Chains A and B, each alone.
Chain A
Amino acid sequence: DAMVIQNPRYQVTQFGKPVTLSCSQTLNHNVMYWYQQKSSQAPKLLFHYYDKDFNNEADTPDNFQSRRPNTSFCFLDIRSPGLGDAAMYLCATSRDRQISYNEQFFGPGTRLTVL
């Protein structure tokens, strides 16, 4: 089945140690998104790629970076994780962003713990 896959599902890292979360999709969608969701809070968009075009949200800290080497894969890099970065990280895709009806498909998420 076509889907959005995130690995790992659970990631533990140490304070200040770089970590990379991965997302892959078999939907062949043009747009890939990364959200951060803290406990009992709304998912917060960090950035998105429209094809190879990177779009950063104004309030996303510089500590968060992303790479999209090809259509199928997108990575979230946290250069120096702090305790406040512990959260669920959700990857989502959509077919396009110019079409009015365009739902986003979410992966299962990676829960990041920072020790």
Chain B
Amino acid sequence: GQNIDQPTEMTATEGAIVQINCTYQTSGFNGLFWYQQHAGEAPTFLSYNVLDGLEEKGRFSSFLSRSKGYSYLLLKELQMKDSASYLCAVRDRSGGATNKLIFGTGTLLAVQP
């Protein structure tokens, strides 16, 4: 079956670094996405990993280990506007459509002054 696990909530301090973990189980892994979703708004794309290793994009980095079924999103120099839900999504090709995304329930990050 398919399963994606993320912590439900996290709290961090402005200016600090936070790591949001995601573990997944899927039969047809074909890439992992991280999306940011502010309350009442649509998810916006943050990062994509399909090979093992770290992808860096400004203050945001994402890491993938396919053998462990594990990814993390690293946010540096936290700002108040980073308070949002962070969704881990795995692309699964076992159903035939290669761009079908399976979303985790998201990690609600609260950044405090």
Contact = CB atoms under 8 A, between A and B. Distances in A.
* Chain B interface bracket (under 10, 10 to 19, 20 to 34, 35 or more): 20 to 34
Given A40-B105, A101-B50, A109-B41, A45 B100 contact: yes
Interface of B: 4, 30-31, 33, 35, 40-45, 48, 50, 87, 97-101, 103-106
Contacts of A43: 43, 87, 103
A94 interface: yes
Contacts of A48: 97, 100
> For chain A, which range describes its interface: under 10, 10 to 19, 20 to 34, or 35 or more residues?
20 to 34
Contacts of B100: 45, 48
Nearest 5 CB-CB pairings of A with B: A97-B99, A106-B42, A42-B103, A42-B105, A103-B45
A19 to B, nearest CB: 20
A78 interface: no
Interface string A71-115: 000000000000000001010001011101111111111010000
Given A31-B99, A42-B87, A98-B98, A105 B50 contact: no
A74 to B, nearest CB: 15
Interface of A: 4, 31, 40-45, 48, 50, 55, 88, 90, 94, 96-98, 100-109, 111
A94 B104 contact: no
B41 A108 contact: yes
A97 B98 contact: yes
Contacts of B40: 88, 109, 111
B63 to A, nearest CB: 17
